[in-house]
């Protein structure tokens, strides 16, 4: 094994680009591990934890680019690997028939044709750049995280006063005027508008609307903290008002994990003035409160999409029923000691929706569910019962690419969970779309095969339930990813909601959902 480090002075790349470049570099022949990142203290801390921080790297400045490559035994041509990484860093020219405009500053972009800035710099500088964009009358999608909440409040108040969108911080998904931004899916245009404090939650509703025959007018992300007591739902309220005024939007869907109670009241109070039907999908939310506000309550993401399409003029495709016979067959294969579920997710809302579905299987099940922030389960993991992990959580992504880009951490965890004889079901999501891994199922298949081998050695059936979040318009397309999972013996759910229903049915007392 050889470790090679290169520092490129005063060479800046945004975090979104570097996450993608790191993932591609890690896939190169002869590479055991590749790390391409800016020389921030956080990134140097990650290198230190990996035992890769050299004195030269420790001296790198925030504006310096660090390239660290660990090659496999027998790999000789490190220079060729570095040259390939250099190629990844070069901005590709536009394809034939396309044009590209490069702005060197936010001010020059504002003077040109730009009206929205996507900001993906280190959190220490993100608020400053977002403020600069807002002051130049640009809407903002702030992808960066680790932005102080005080800065978020100030930025959103500024945007509100100027009539601009301030999506984020930590906003990873939006579709504005049929253009997907960051992690978004290819969906048909339509009349359903979405305002969401959840990235994968909004993606899920958008692809369900697409699958049902509807389409999306706008998808406005707010960032995960928007509905906290501190922020007060500033962006979600402004988003509702923007969609209420949007001629393309006939129905509005709100998506969030449980908001702060006082903020939920403020948001629901906007429904009466929207002048359009509003579907509310707040995980674990109150149907009574939504109905009292004049909204349409949705208990699941599938339900939210269904209601939204029903409320427009778009046709509604049929929703298939859960395959109860398959559930019964799976339960018959399980040994008496196999009773727990391990969820290994990329998307936080997809993780939570499955977890809440299991809650409905009975309080005895819910009492065993626990969020486990550690990577390695200790010995005696069966005592942890049902465990649902969101590998996109900050604890797993600190200094690492998001698992939708680089799934290596959760692949390791998949095989470890399979070794636990008390596990009955492993449940996973696979997220397609702009910015995601080019083949999320394909890169996972070897780990799935190994997990099944581990269980078979002990004479156990290990049920793996997978859900592919995507559409027929995505690259790769949904059908091919589903077919690959089914060929590997994975039960493929047709929605995030059905994923949770399968888990509930297999583990619950009844063999039907």
Residue 163: pLDDT band with limits 50, 70, 90: very high
Q: How confident is the model at residue 378 (pLDDT cuts 50, 70, 90)?
A: very low
Per-residue confidence band for 383, with pLDDT thresholds at 50, 70 and 90: very low
Tens-digit pLDDT profile for residues 421-475 = 999 999 999 999 988 888 999 989 999 999 999 999 999 999 999 999 999 999 9
Region class of 466: left (phi > 0), else alpha (psi between -120 and 50), else beta: beta
Give the pLDDT score at 99: 63
| 501, 319 contact by CB (below 8 A) | no
Are the C-beta atoms of residues 94 and 118 closer than 8 Å to each other? no
Q: What mean pLDDT do residues 106-135 have?
A: 90
Mean pLDDT of 377-390: 59
| pLDDT computed for residue 370 by the predictor | 44
CB 497 within 8 A of CB 300: yes
Angle at 486 between CA 462 and CA 359, to 5 degrees: 50
Q: Locate all alpha helices (DSSP H) within 136-260, ordered by sequence.
A: 149-162, 199-211, 234-244
Q: Which of 14-28, 76-90, 202-216 has the highest mean pLDDT?
A: 202-216
Predicted pLDDT of residue 48:
84
Over residues 77-101, mean pLDDT: 76
**What's CA 182's distance to the chain center, in Å?**
10
- Do strands 189-196 and 216-221 pair parallel, antiparallel, or not at all (unpaired)? parallel
pLDDT at 314: 60
Cβ atoms of residues 109 and 134 within 8 Å: no
**How confident is the model at residue 384, as a pLDDT?**
67
Predicted local confidence at residue 377, as pLDDT: 36
Q: List phi, psi (to 5°) of 367.
A: -65, -20
CATH of 324-507, one of 3.40.50.261, 3.50.50.60, 3.40.50.11310, 1.10.10.410: 3.40.50.261
Q: Tokens in use for 42?
A: 């956080």
Higher pLDDT, 248 or 48: 248
What pLDDT shows up at residue 104?
77
Under DSSP, is residue 33 helix (H, G, I), strand (E, B) or coil? strand
Place of tokens 């949904």: 478
- pLDDT at res. 381: 39
Q: What is the pLDDT of residue 129?
A: 94
Number of helices (H), then strands (E), belonging to the chain: the values are 21, 18
Q: Tell if the pTM clears 0.85, that is, is over it.
A: no
SS3 assignment, position 123? helix
Where do the domains of the chain lie? 2-89, 106-310, 324-507
Q: What are 316-357's pLDDT values in tens digits?
A: 767 778 888 999 999 999 999 998 999 999 988 899 888 888
Residue 450, classed as helix, strand or coil, is helix
**How far is it, in rounded angstroms, from Cα 151 to Cα 130?**
10
Arithmetic mean of pLDDT, 480-502: 94
DSSP codes of every residue in 300-355 = SHHHHHHHHHHTSSS-----PPP-HHHHHHHHHHS-TT--EEEEEES-HHHHHHHH
Decide if 300 contacts 281 (C-beta within 8 A). yes
- Crossing angle of the two packed helices 261-268 and 234-244, in degrees rounded to 10: 10
Lowest mean pLDDT among 202-211, 245-254, 389-398: 389-398
Residue 474: CB atoms within 10 Å: 23
- Lowest mean pLDDT, pick from 90-99, 149-158, 341-350, 360-369: 360-369
Tokens of 20: 């993608």
Is the confidence at residue 225, as pLDDT, over 90? yes
Of all residues in the chain, what percent carry a pLDDT higher than 70?
90
Q: How far is CA 435 from the centre of its chain?
A: 10
Residue 363 banded pLDDT, cuts 50, 70, 90: very low
Pairing of strands 251-256, 278-282: parallel
Residue 306 contacts residue 317 (beta carbons within 8 Å): no
Per-residue pLDDT band at 372 (split at 50, 70, 90): very low
Model confidence band, residue 392 (pLDDT cutoffs 50, 70, 90): confident
Q: Are 239 and 165 in contact (CB under 8 A)?
A: yes
The residue among 374, 373, 444 whose CA lies nearest residue 404 is 444
Matching CATH topology for 106-310 and 324-507? yes
Q: Does 400 have pLDDT greater than 80?
A: no
Assign domain 106-310 to its CATH superfamily: Succinyl-CoA synthetase domains (3.40.50.261)
Are the beta carbons of 509 and 501 closer than 8 angstroms? no
Token pair for 168? 């984020």
The pLDDT mean for the chain works out to: 87
**Model confidence at 379: pLDDT above 60:** no
Q: What is the mean pLDDT of residues 72-83?
A: 83
More confident residue, 462 or 391: 462
Q: In angstroms, rounded to a whole number, what is the distance separating the alpha carbons of residues 24 and 36?
A: 10
Residue 103 has pLDDT above 50, yes or no: yes
pLDDT band at 487 (very low <50, low <70, confident <90, very high): very high
The residue-averaged pLDDT of 180-193 equals 95
**CATH number assigned to the domain with residue range 2-89, chosen from the 4 options 3.30.200, 3.40.640, 3.30.70, 3.30.1330:** 3.30.70
Task: Of 374, 442, 432, give the one whose Cα is nearest residue 411.
Answer: 442
């Amino acid at each position: 094994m050889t470790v090679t480090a290169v520092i490129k002075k005063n060479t800046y790349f945004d975090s979104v680009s570097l996450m993608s470049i790191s993932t591609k570099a890690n896939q190169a022949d002869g590479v055991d591990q590749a790390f391409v990142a800016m020389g921030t203290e956080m990134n140097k801390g990650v290198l230190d934890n990996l035992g890769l921080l050299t004195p030269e790297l420790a001296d790198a400045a925030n504006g310096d680019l660090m390239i660290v490559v660990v090659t496999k035994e027998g790999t000789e041509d490190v220079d060729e690997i570095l040259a390939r990484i250099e190629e990844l860093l070069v901005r590709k020219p536009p394809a034939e028939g396309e044009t590209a405009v490069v702005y060197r500053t936010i001010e020059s972009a504002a003077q040109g044709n730009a009206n929205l800035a996507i900001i993906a710099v280190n959190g220490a500088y993100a608020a400053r750049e977002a403020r600069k964009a807002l002051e130049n009358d640009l809407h903002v999608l702030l992808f960066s995280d680790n932005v102080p909440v005080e800065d978020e409040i100030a930025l959103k108040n500024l945007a509100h006063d100027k009539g601009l969108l301030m999506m984020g911080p930590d906003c990873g998904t939006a579709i504005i005027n049929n253009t997907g931004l960051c992690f978004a899916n290819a969906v048909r245009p339509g009349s359903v508008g979405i305002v969401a404090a959840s990235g994968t939650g909004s993606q899920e509703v958008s692809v369900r609307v697409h699958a049902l025959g509807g389409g999306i007018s706008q998808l406005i992300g707010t960032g995960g903290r928007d509905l906290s007591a501190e922020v007060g739902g500033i962006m979600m309220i402004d988003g509702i008002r923007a969609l209420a005024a949007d001629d393309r939007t006939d129905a509005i869907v709100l998506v969030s994990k449980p908001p702060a109670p006082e903020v939920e009241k403020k948001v629901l109070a906007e429904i009466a003035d929207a002048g359009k039907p509003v579907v509310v999908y707040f995980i674990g939310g109150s149907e009574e409160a939504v109905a009292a506000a004049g909204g349409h309550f949705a208990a699941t993401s599938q339900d939210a999409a269904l209601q939204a399409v029903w409320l427009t003029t778009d046709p509604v495709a049929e929703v298939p029923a859960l395959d109860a016979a398959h559930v019964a067959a799976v339960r018959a294969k399980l040994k008496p000691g196999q009773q727990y579920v391990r969820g290994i997710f990329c998307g936080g809302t997809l993780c939570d929706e499955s977890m809440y579905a299991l809650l409905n299987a009975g309080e005895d099940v819910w009492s065993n569910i626990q969020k486990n922030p550690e990577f390695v389960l200790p010995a005696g993991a069966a005592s942890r019962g049902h465990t649902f992990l969101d590998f996109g959580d900050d604890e797993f992504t600190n200094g690492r690419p998001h698992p939708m880009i680089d799934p290596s951490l959760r692949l390791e965890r998949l095989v470890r969970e399979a070794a636990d004889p008390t596990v009955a079901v492993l449940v996973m999501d696979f997220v397609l779309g702009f910015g995601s891994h080019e083949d999320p199922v394909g890169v996972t298949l070897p780990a799935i095969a190994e997990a099944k081998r581990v269980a078979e050695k002990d004479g156990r059936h290990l049920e793996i339930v997978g859900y592919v979040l995507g559409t027929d318009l995505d690259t790769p397309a949904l059908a091919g990813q589903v077919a690959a999972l089914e060929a590997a013996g994975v039960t493929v759910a047709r929605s995030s909601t059905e994923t949770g229903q399968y888990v509930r049915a297999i583990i619950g007392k009844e063999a039907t959902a």
